[in-house]
Amino acid sequence: MDRRTFLATGLAGVAAAGKLAATARAQQAEGTKVSGKHAFKLKYAPHFGMFQNHAGPDLIDQLKFAADQGFAALEDNGMMGRAPDEQEKIAKEMTRLGMTMGVFVAYADVGSRTFVRNDAEVRKMLTDRMREAVETAKRVNAKWCTVVPGQFDPGLEWDYQTANVIDNLKACAEVCEPAGLVMVLEPLNPRDHGGLFLVRIPQAYQICRAVASPSCKILDDLYHQQVSEGNLIPNLERAWSEIAYFQLGDNPGRKEPTTGEINFRNVFRHLHAKGFTGLLGMEHGHSKPGKEGERAVIDAYIACDDF
């Protein structure tokens, strides 16, 4: 090939490559291009609605899209409110896709004083609720359910409230243990949820140690704990034996990783090094609207999982 032909061919190739790159950039800007399946090191669990601009409103299509992106799990806080036939349909598709069901909310009445009370009627209400949660878990192949112990009582000494919470959780655990269902207690930050009893990881650790049941563990929501106390890695280290589940969201804003102050790559690296094989629920919003925002979520997890 002479020099003139070589240069002409080379320039044509560069032009073609530039055209392809420009097209790819345009597609990504329009939110029309999504990557192929990614091999994540950890099991991140999106929720319904997180990718609906790409997948559409149908829940099964949303599951398929999440699986196609490499997500191996899904959580659904509102699962107990779905009709049994819908629950079973979701579970069947997740089994087909090889996905793991994450948490659903079993009890989270943040406006009432419940677990802090020594009251027979309250305890019956709580244990009845857990029996319903057990039935839901059986239909959807779930292992974990979220419990928020409600408000504290400013008229009762704190230690008495703690004892009541422990006793009520023991009663609930007796319902859950035969089915293998694990209640995960979620401390919520006092800035967003004022007046709640359970706020910090050390507090949840103390309670779980006192309940002493495999069906009573901690849900460590890193967004809430960054607001409440920070010190994320040292706290998860100290409470490790009682932590069964994580949820994610950056602070400020409770959007996807990389949008705030938490170094999620370091946290994920730490969890992976410890051999964590559980789920990390993506309980956050999008920093951008539409397909662009959904693409940003996927890209953020790919970036933070790259350690």
Q: Quick one: pLDDT at residue 36? A: 66
Question: Residue 209 maps to which CATH number?
Answer: 3.20.20.150
Residues 5 and 53 in one domain: no
Reported as a single tens digit per residue, the pLDDT across 25-74 is 343 344 334 456 999 999 999 999 999 999 999 999 999 999 999 999 99
Residues 128 and 231 in one domain: yes
Q: Which domain holds residue 8?
A: 1-30
The model carries a pTM of: 0.88
- CA 130 remoteness from chain centre: 21
Residue 137 DSSP SS3? helix
Q: Calculate helix-pair angle for 120-140, 158-176, nearest 10 degrees.
A: 40
Residues 119 and 213 in one domain: yes
**How far is residue 134's CA from residue 144's CA, in Å, rounded to a whole number?**
10
- Please state the domain count of the chain: 2
Residues 210 and 134 in one domain: yes
Residues 257 and 225 in one domain: yes
Residues 88 and 3 in one domain: no
β partners of residue 104:
145
Q: Quick one: pLDDT at residue 31? A: 39
Residue 101 DSSP SS3? strand
Enter the tokens of residue 101. 């069901």
Residues 22 and 132 in one domain: no
Backbone angles phi, psi at 22, to 5 degrees: -65, -40
Is 131 buried (19+), middle (13-18) or exposed (0-12) by CB count in 10 A? middle
Residues 23 and 105 in one domain: no
